[in-house]
Amino acid sequence: MEKRVKNRVAKSVLLHVVIYTGAFLTLAPFLWMVLTSFKGINEILTYPPTWWPKEFRFENYVNAFQAASFGRFYLNTFIIAIACTLGQLVTCSMAAFAFARLRFRGRDALFLLFLGTMMIPGQVTMIPTFIILYWFGWIDSYQALIVPGLASAFGTFLLRQFFLTIPRELEDAAYIDGCSRFGVLWRIILPLSKPALATLAIFIFMYFFNDFLWPLIVVNSEEMRTVQLGLAIFRDRYVTQWDLLMAGSVTSTLPILIVFFFAQKYFIQGITLSGLKE
């Protein structure tokens, strides 16, 4: 009997060791990035590598910001990510309301078509969208980075599923009191959907903050670069300047890490909500 207890303890200890080692390995590249970002280039390029910096050089960050206009890249990224997030919250909740609550001919077929667009890889629409934007004269502008991102099937689907779980009685009462459909959406459905809206907002924001391929295609000038594009080009230019590169990487990951740590719950909720509920 005692042996069994001992066995169980040993097993549990082993599990802890393995799982924490795995977690450390997963986080090691980040830790190393942060620590390296404070080292001088001479310390970086010595063997064997040091973990803890001999001296903390905050100048690396200043230098990185001087070498590339990360401030500007940030401004661009925030403008784009916020515009797309707000835009999608509006368009998606309106469309979701139509699919969840309004009765009109061809609704289910249209919804199916909508869902169908989710399986079109972005690379298929990328080329023609680029050409269309080129004809509009929108290449290298905020419009090119924002307008195609103002609606999404994913967001509409997510919100529709959530709206369907809200009981109808409240709305019926509102309609009897003469409330319009827009009023019902605005005053009843949306306030009840705050968790779903928060989840969606975080998803969209993260998506546009991290998006790389689209800015790579439509941006030419330095002042229109986003953080990710700026970092990629920065890497091409300062291939071996690891002090600057690491400072740049930290700069471009920090905000998203902060957002994630505070809003984790919504994020994980969103994945399970969209992934497993059919």
Could you say which DSSP state residue 238 is in?
A: S
**Part in contact with another protein (CB under 8 A); list of ranges 28-36, 56-64, 78-86, 162-170:** 28-36
The residue range among 78-86, 157-165, 187-195, 269-277 that interacts with another protein, by the rule CB under 8 A, is 269-277
Task: Check residue 130 for interaction with another protein (CB under 8 A).
Answer: yes
- The tokens describing 42, both together, are 């001479």
Q: Which of residues 74-93 bind another protein (CB under 8 A)?
A: 90-92
Which span sits near another protein by CB under 8 A: 66-74, 78-86, 109-117, 190-198? 109-117
Indicate which single residue of 65, 78, 186, 267 sits in contact with another protein (rule: CB under 8 A).
Answer: 267
Applying CB under 8 A, among 1, 5, 109, 124 the residue interacting with another protein is: 124
By the rule CB under 8 A, 22 interacts with another protein: yes
Is residue 137 close enough to count as binding another protein by CB under 8 A?
no
**Among 2, 26, 109, 191, interactor with another protein by CB under 8 A:** 26
Binding to another protein (CB under 8 A) within 191-220 occurs at 206, 209-210, 212-213, 216-217
The answer for residues whose C-beta is within 8 angstroms of residue 256's C-beta and 6 or more apart is: 206, 209, 210
Phi then psi dihedrals of residue 235, to 5 deg: -65, -40
Beta carbon of residue 83, minimum distance to another protein (angstroms, whole number): 13
Residues 160-189 that bind another protein (CB under 8 A): 175-176, 181, 185
Q: Is 125 helix (H, G, I), strand (E, B) or coil?
A: helix
Q: Is residue 49 involved in binding another protein (CB under 8 A)?
A: yes
Locate 274 and state its tokens: 């969209």
Which of 129, 141, 143, 161 binds another protein (CB under 8 A)? It is 129
Across 3-30, b (16+ Cβ under 10 Å) vs e yields: eeeeeeeeeeeeeeeeeeeeeeeeeeee
Rounded to an integer, what distance in angstroms lies between the CA atom of residue 278 and that of residue 276? 6
Decide if 156 contacts 95 (C-beta within 8 A).
yes
* Residue pointed to by tokens 């970002």: 37
Please give the DSSP secondary-structure letter assigned to residue 142.
H
* Contact of 194 with 218, CB cutoff 8 Å: no
Determine the interface stretch with another protein among 9-17, 78-86, 157-165, 189-197 (rule: CB under 8 A).
9-17
Q: Is the CB of residue 164 less than 8 Å from the CB of residue 189?
A: no
Least Cβ distance, residue 223 to another protein (angstroms): 19
Q: Which CB sits closer to another protein, 71 or 122?
A: 122
Binding of another protein at residue 42 (CB under 8 A)?
no
Closest CA to 245 of 257, 259, 256, 231: 231
Site string for another protein, 235-254 (x = CB under 8 A): x------x--xx-xx--xx-
**Integer CA distances (angstroms), 250 to 38, 153, 210, 254, 255, in order:** 10, 32, 14, 6, 9
Residue 110 beta carbon to another protein: minimum distance, rounded to whole angstroms: 8
